[in-house]
Amino acid sequence: MQILFTSTPPADVRLHARVVNQGAALAGLDAALVEGAAASRFSGRAGQVFEGFASVGGTVKRIALAGAGEADGADRRMDCERAGAALTAKFLVSTERVMVLDLGQAGLSADTAAAVLLGLRLRGWRHDAYRTKLPADKRPSLETVHVTGAPAGTEAAWEREAALAKGVEFARNLVAEPANIIYPASFVAVCEEAFAGTGAEITVLGEAEMEALGMGALVGVGRGSERESKLIAIRWNGGAAGDKPTVFVGKGVTFDTGGISLKPPPGMEDMKWDMGGAGAVAGAMLALVTRKAKANVIGVMGLVENMPDGKAQRPGDVVTTMSGQTVEVLNTDAEGRLVLCDALHWAQEQYDAARIVDLATLTGAMIISLGNEYGGMFANDDALAEQLNAAGKASGDKLWRMPLGANYDKLIDSPIADIKNVGPREAGSITAAQFLQRFIKNGTPWAHLDIAGMVWSGKPGHTWDKGATGYGVRLLDQFVRDVAEG
C-alpha cells in the first residue's frame, strides 16, 4: 500500500476518511452524516468505523469516520493504530483503489499520526500468491492513501514506522510460505536478497561447517531431511565501534513433522510456521537495517527441517553439542531446543554480546499456559526482563514472565548423559527454558521468549488478517529503540 503526503489530494477520489476522537463533535460534516453516525451509535471508540455518503460539490463521496479513542487515553498510540487498521479492514476489498485520509481533526502528534498509518498498512498485508481463483470481491483493491492534515514531523516519524512495517511484512511472508517454498537454503537465499546492498554483513554455515564445529544437536535434528540444515547470521554495525552487540537468536524449523516421534496428522500442516522465531529475527533485522538503527545488532538463525527417515535421529540417541555437553534425545519432537542450544553457543563464541534474546515457537505447553494473548518470557536477568516487558507493552507484542529455578533442573537430568531434551508433562515450557539456560555462559544477560501461541492466528486481529502475525518484530525493534539506541 502506497502512502503519500499531500496538501491537495486528487479531486476525483471518492473515498474520504477522517480520524476522530471519542466523544468529539463531528464538525464540518453533512448533517445527514452526523445524524447517521449518531443513529449508528458511532462514538469514536478505538477501532470503530462509520461509513456514509454525501454530496460534495455536486459529486457523491464515500465518507468514513475512524475512532481513535480518548484524546488523552492511556493507550493512545495503540488506539490510533486501531483506527488506521479498522479503515483498511473496512475498505481493503471495497473496490476503492484510493483513499484520502484526513489526520488533522483529532489533535494527533507526529508519533500518533504515524501510528494511524502503521495500523493502516499492517492490516493490509495478505498472502494471496497461490490463490488463482480468488473472486473479484475478495481481492484487495485499496492501493494508495493520500494523507492530509498531518502534523509537523509526521513524514519523518512515518519513515521509521514504514521500515518497521517492512520488517513485519517480511516476517509474515517467511512464516506464511509453505515448507516446499521456504526451507533452510531458500530461507537463506531470501535473506541474502533482502539484505543485499543494505550494509548488513551475512555469514552462512552449511552442515559440513557446523559438523566441524561440533554442532551435533542442531545437525542431528536435520539428519532425516533431504534439505541441508543452515545457520545464518545477519550483522548490523550501526552503533559505536566499541559497543557490544545485542544478539537475537531465532529457532528456524522450517517444517516439523516431529521426526521419528511423529506428530498426529491433524494440524501438522501448521508446522510450516515452526520457524516463526527465525522469521521474527529476520524481520526485525530488516526493520533495523532499513531505518539505519544506531545500534550494533546481530540476528542468528538456526535453520533445519525435522523429518522422519532412515537417517533421522532416534529416541534414546545421545548427541554432543558444540558446548561439549551431551544430550539424551528422548523425544525427537522436542527439537527446537536442540537447534537453539548450538545456535546460542555459537553466537556466544562468535560475538561478545551485551545481551542475548532468543525467540522460538518452542512448546505447546506455552499455549496451554498463556493461550494466544502473551508470549512467555524466561530471563536470568531482572533488568533485561523489565526492558523486554516494557518493549512488549509499547509495541503491542505482549510478554508474560515465567519462572526459572534450579529445582526444575532435576526434571531434565539424564541418567546416561549430561541432560535429556524433555522432562515430564508438567512445567513443559519451564523445563525447555531450563534446558536452554544450561548453554548460556555465566554473566551473560539472556532471555528466552516462547512465542508458540503468537506467530499464527486463526482469526483476524487489530493489525493482521488470519494467518501470520509477524509477532516479535515490533517487540525487538522497540527493545532496540529503548535499550540499544536509547
Catalytic residue numbers, as ranges: 263, 337
| Cα–Cα dist 338/115, whole Å | 39
C-beta separation of 2 from 145 below 8 A: yes
> Residues 6 or more apart from 146 whose CB is under 8 A from it?
4, 6, 9, 10, 13, 98, 99, 100, 101
Going by C-alpha positions, the residue among 356, 165, 186 that lies closest to residue 275 is 186
The DSSP code for 295 is S
**What b/e sequence results for 454-473 when a residue is b if at least 16 CB atoms lie within 10 Å of its CB, and e otherwise?**
bbbbeeeebbbbebbbbbbb
Going by C-alpha positions, the residue among 119, 202, 127 that lies closest to residue 164 is 119
| Cα–Cα dist 321/330, whole Å | 15
What is the layout of strands, in order, in the sheet containing 326-329? 317-320, 326-329, 419-420
C-beta separation of 373 from 398 below 8 A: yes
Going by C-alpha positions, the residue among 126, 118, 50, 131 that lies closest to residue 80 is 118
What are the percentages of helix, strand and coil residues in the chain, rounded to 5? Answer: 35, 20, 40
Radius of gyration of the chain (CA): 24
| Cα–Cα dist 421/408, whole Å | 13
Query: In what helix (H) or strand (E) does residue 343 lie, and over which residues does it extend?
Result: helix 336-350
C-beta separation of 239 from 294 below 8 A: yes
Grid cell digits, residue 219: 545437525
Which residue(s) pair with 340 in the sheet? none
